[in-house]
Structure 1
């Protein structure tokens, strides 16, 4: 019997687009960590922290997951894949079709249709040096964060159930970086415009936990956009800075990429 050959896959790297900027907390931000070994002074809901500096940060996985979820919903995708277990069961869209704007941008893993590696690399976002200095002077009893007391009420008995939640205070600034891999030139404009749209959508939604209770309102400011074609890596050619003006992100980057 003739051995079945795998279909060849072409995954070129034609360049990278590097977006960097700031995530500014307009209200307190809570991105939680495991309670095990991380609770400070009996805190019910601690934030995730860098184990070396003890400063809070935004994991790239949390930011990427939120952006993907918002794009799935904005594009009215079916949540057709089940993940997690127990009380942590989640549903998400994952079709693994090359034509799917969500899966080609954020990646997909499917036993039936194969894997689509993500075109986005979302780095962990760390506090700016200015915010570290400002938050180190807080008198809240917690390093770099505040302690917010909340109450949930039993609708029948009116019994209060107090709880505490740790938050990064409003005004704190995180520095972020997102790297987009250019695989198909014809997708470049569309992919980056979808990324820009979902970053704007996040500003009117919430990042982290407790968004419906006032947490997690953020402002996202893109400060710099760089295009590094593959010749930058292979031949040492210069990177190109994209001037952000009246055009949308995708159009601005495409002009630089095709004109260079």
Structure 2
């Protein structure tokens, strides 16, 4: 039987991100900058405004979920250890890899090596990533507030720290650039796609949506970006709205289905309702 992937619909989560403490997501310095900060933030290359990369949000949430679900850190990318399923049996029960996907390199490796691909069987087939996380721009109101403020650099503050020699007590000062607490980034958008693979049941895909909400809760009690153990990176998701866009939304111009207008990430009853309504509405399209 040929492999098949049917898109059933997409769950779109939108809202905003408020900085509870200063945020540092590092960017590369363009070169030697006399008087520049030691650790600059990432900025939009045209507007020079700070933004939150979708990759930073996605990667941090995945990392927290890997620890929460006690997934083995079995892959190394340079000096970074992370989790990725290598066998079909492992993948079948791994919520993290289903939501966030496995890298194309690992899939292709199984296909390209002949006998190994045969041993891996279905694992050599395509495993789609379900979650897309967009970059988040600085909200216009926060941009205006920061332009009026007397910040050290455009839209940012410079936080001085010192490394202390444990023997001599000598201090080595250093500078970290941060977006100040209180700034808002909006619109925030995550898109979670629900698939039917090889004609199989799609309802487990909807259940895995709960894992994404768990990851967002974990992130609010952890930190985003760098220097989190020293106070930076605490965020709060705000004004979360959830809607379902079934296949008919795309091919028949049907309206989206509102699932939540003010999602509380800690309200499990509300989250279960989102899952149940999604299943009911998608079933109607069968």
Q: 2:81 aligns with which of 82, 91, 96?
A: 91
Superposed CA offset, 1:67-116 (max 9, x none): 000000000000000112xxxx1111000513310101001022344453
Cα distance, 1:118 vs. partner? 1.5
Which residue, out of 211, 225, 237, partners 1:194? 211
**TM-aligned CA distance change 1:199 to 1:39, over 3 Å:** farther
Asked if 1:12 corresponds to 2:6, the answer is: yes
In the alignment, what sits opposite 1:3? none
8 A Cα contact 1:15 1:182, kept in partner: yes
Instruction: Give 2:139's aligned residue.
Output: 128
Correspondence for 2:115: none
Give, in angstroms, the shift of residue 37 of structure 1: 4.0
- Compute the TM-score of the two structures, normalised by the length of structure 1: 0.89
Structure 2 regions of 5+ residues with no counterpart? 111-122, 197-201
* Cα distance, 1:190 vs structure 2: 2.4
Contact map agreement 1:38 1:46 (CA 8 A) in 2: no
Given candidates 105, 124, 145, the residue that maps to 2:99 is 105
1:80 to 2:74 alignment: yes
1:181 to 173, 177, 193: 193
CA distance in 1: counterparts of 2:47 and 2:32, whole angstroms: 14
Question: Of 62, 73, 77, which aligns to 2:56?
Answer: 62
Mapped partners of 2:127, 2:165: distance in 1:
46
Query: Which residue does the alignment assign to 1:116?
Result: 127
Provide the C-alpha distance between the structure 2 equivalents of 1:192 and 1:222, rounded to a whole number of angstroms: 19
Bigger Cα displacement from structure 2, 112-121 vs 55-64: 112-121
| Residue 211 (1) aligns with residue 231 (2) | no
Q: Which has the higher helix share?
A: 2
TM-score, normalised relative to structure 2: 0.82
Q: In the alignment, is the contact (CA less than 8 A) between 2:194 and 2:206 conserved in 1?
A: no
Q: Look up the SS of the partner of 2:208 in the other structure.
A: helix
Aligned to 2:199: none
How many residue pairs get aligned? The number is 250
Equivalent in the alignment of 2:237? 220
- The 3 A distance-change label for structure 1 pair 220 and 38 is farther
- 8 Å contact kept, 1:59–1:124: yes
- Structure 2 residue 275 is matched with structure 1 residue 258: no
Structure 1 residue runs of 5 or longer lacking an equivalent are 1-6
